[in-house]
Each structure stands twice: as C-alpha cells, then as structure tokens.
Amino acid sequence: MSHVLTIENLSFKYHKKRVLTDISFSTDPGEFISIIGPNGSGKTTLIKLISKINKPEKGNIHIKGENIQTMSNKQLARHIAVVMQSVEPVAMSVEEYVLLGRLPFFKKYQFFETAKDMALAHKYMELTGILKLKDAPINEISGGERQLAAIARALTQQPLLLILDEPTSHLDITHQIKILELISSLKQELSLSILMVLHDLNLAAEYSDRLVLLGGENGKIYQTGTCEQVLSEKSIQEVYNTKVKIQKNPVSKRPCIFLVTQNALNPE
Ligand code: ADP
C-alpha cells in the first residue's frame, strides 16, 4: 500500500530557533494519526510545513509520492484539506462557506460553482449534520456548528489527507466527542487519512490508530507508535514534565491518563 503522506528527515528553524529536527513518519489511507506534545513542541509548525505555509530547512514532504514543493498550492489543495482551530466568523452563509472547498477545482475563467460542486457541498453538509443550517450566516451559528461547517468545507475538497489543528479545543465535551466520532467514521467511509493535532491525551488515546509524540531533544520526535506504546507514565513524565498514572479505560481498553495532584499525594 502506498503512503498518502511521507515525511522524511524534516527540519525547520524560525530565524535561529530550531523547532523541528529530523522528523520522519508516514500515513496510510484510512489511518488516523494524532500529533501530540507540549506547548511549543512544534505541532502547528509541522502542519504549516505540510500545508506549504512554511518551507522546510531540510528534508522532504511527499503526498502520494509527489514532493509538495513541486506542486502548486491549487494542486496541493486537491490532495490535502486543513481545518484550523477556529473558523473566522465571515459574513457568508454556511452553504457559500462550504462551497469555498471547491475553489481548487475551478477551471480558468470559471466564476460560479457547477451542479457537481453544489451536489458535493450538499453531500458533505448532510454528512456533517449541518444541511439544515445551509442558509444561516456563518457568524450566527455556534462554535461547534462552525467547526462542523469547516469540516464539511474541507471534505468538499475531496482530499486524500484531512489535517485538523486542535479542532475541538473550544468545544464542550459533547461537541468534542461528536466531532471525533464524525472524523472516525469518515476515515472508514471515505478511506481518508487523518492527521490531527490534539491537546487532550485521553481523546487522542481513544480515537487514534497511531501517535506522533513531539517534544524530543532539539525538536525531534520523542516516539511514534500505537497509543499503548507511546502513552506511558515515563514518556509523559519526560516530555511533559508531569507526573501521571496510566490505566486502561475499562470500556475501550485504551490507555487512560490520570493526573497526580499534590493534594492527592500529600493528603492532610
Ligand atoms: P505547538 O503548536 O506545539 O504549541 P508551535 O509550532 O506553535 O508549537 O511553536 C513551536 C515553537 O516555534 C515555539 O517555541 C514558538 O514560540 C515558535 N514559533 C511559532 N511560530 C513562530 C513564528 N512565526 N516566529 C518565530 N517563532 C515562532
């Protein structure tokens, strides 16, 4: 099986500040990978490199075997779609916003969407549960609904790889689970490769097939592997400098992280 995304020996500096060093990993179709790591460990920078917002200092990024540096932004947008942390409350309807996902497919001198574009936008608004909001202004729906609209827009790009940077960070637990359940179902239904930055380690453990833990020495990957391999008390202590206990979630059997507070360690 050929990889969707292949990252080889990627390094990056902001001016003189080294942020990422020698990053290598790949994703397969239908695979859900979460990038985890402490604040400042380079998660968003990695996404910016894959989206061609920044250029690597060293190393290569390939999508389906093609180096992204040789692709135009429009070509890249036909393969990868990115959902950022929050959606700007722009003055347009949900439907207009979702249709923006079809822009990479517009032909020269095409100004209006085709019937196919409209059908795709409707299909993915339906799949994400926001079709009923299609005429609502984006700036008048809730944060969770806006995030669903951003996912619908990304899906109308029909990407091979869906990248999400903390898509649940501003949402309550109901909406966090709703979005992660949706994304999990998409990876199977659409055979999408998912790359997600997640702060919440327990959510990452529940939904991811594999984890990439940033925060190694000098911006290296500390560890990649299954959730069981990567989430250990030792790795969390070393990378996050925080004491935790890890046990199996009694329902999913995935690793579940418990904070160890000073109060609990030293009860009065
Ligand atoms: P994370 O997403 O893991 O919190 P980031 O990728 O945002 O980490 O940041 C990694 C490091 O790069 C941080 O130390 C941050 O201060 C620095 N950084 C991020 N963006 C810039 C920038 N535009 N210019 C200079 N330094 C930056």
Identify the pLDDT of residue 245: 94
Helix, strand and coil in the chain, % to nearest 5: 40, 25, 35
Residue 40 alpha carbon to ligand 1 centre in Å: 6
Give 210: exposed, middle or buried? Use CB within 10 Å, 0-12, 13-18, 19+.
middle
User: What is the model's pLDDT at position 3?
Assistant: 92
Choose the residue to mutate in 10, 13, 14, 239 for probing ligand 1, maximizing ligand atoms within 8 Å of C-beta: 14
Write the CA distances from 104 to 79, 89, 125, integer angstroms.
Answer: 10, 22, 18
In short, whether 37's Cβ falls inside 6 Å of ligand 1 is yes
Distance 54 CA to ligand 1 centre (A): 12
Would the CB of 174 count as within 6 Å of ligand 1?
no
Q: Tell me, what's the pLDDT at 240?
A: 94
Domains of the chain (ranges, CATH numbers): 5-228 (3.40.50.300)
Please report the pLDDT score of residue 246 as a whole number.
95
Long-range interactions of 139-145: CB distance < 8 A, separation 24+: 139/89, 139/90, 139/91, 141/94, 143/86, 143/170, 143/171, 143/175, 144/171, 144/172, 144/175, 144/178, 144/179, 145/94
Q: Is the CB of 39 under 6 A from ligand 1?
A: yes
8-state DSSP, 107: P
Q: Which pLDDT score, from 0 to 100, does residue 261 have?
A: 81
Nearest to residue 23, comparing CAs of 51, 54, 63, 50? 50
**Quick check: CB of 42 below 6 Å from ligand 1?**
yes
User: Which is the closest atom of ligand 1 to the Cα of 38?
Assistant: 3
Q: Give the closest residue (by CA) to ligand 1 atom 15.
A: 40
Burial 86-124 (b: 16+ CB within 10 A, else e): bbeeeeebbbbbbbebbebbeeeeeeebeeebbebbbeb
41 CA closest ligand 1 atom index: 3
- 89, 146 in Cβ contact below 8 A? yes
Question: What is the C-alpha to C-alpha distance for residues 82 and 229, in angstroms, rounded to an integer?
Answer: 27
Q: Is the CB of 19 under 6 A from ligand 1?
A: yes
Q: Do 193 and 31 contact (CB within 8 A), yes or no?
A: yes
Residue 170: closest CA among 84, 94, 47 = 84
Task: Please indicate whether residue 54, judged by its CB atom, sits closer than 6 Å to ligand 1.
Answer: no
Three-class SS state of 25: strand
pLDDT at 105 (0 to 100)? 67
Closest ligand 1 atom to Cα of 42: 6
241: Cβ contacts below 8 Å, ≥ 6 apart: 38
22: left (phi over 0), alpha (psi -120 to 50) or beta: left
Query: Cβ-count burial of 57 within 10 angstroms (0-12 exposed, 13-18 middle, 19+ buried)?
Result: middle
- 156-168 burial: b if 16+ Cβ within 10 Å, else e: bbbbbbbbbbbbb
User: What's the pLDDT score for residue 85?
Assistant: 77
Ligand 1 pocket: which of 11, 17, 19, 212 to mutate (most atoms <8 Å of CB)?
A: 19
Q: Running along the chain, 268 residues long, what does each successive block of 10 average in pLDDT?
A: 91 94 95 96 95 94 95 90 81 91 71 79 90 93 89 92 88 86 87 93 95 94 97 95 93 93 75
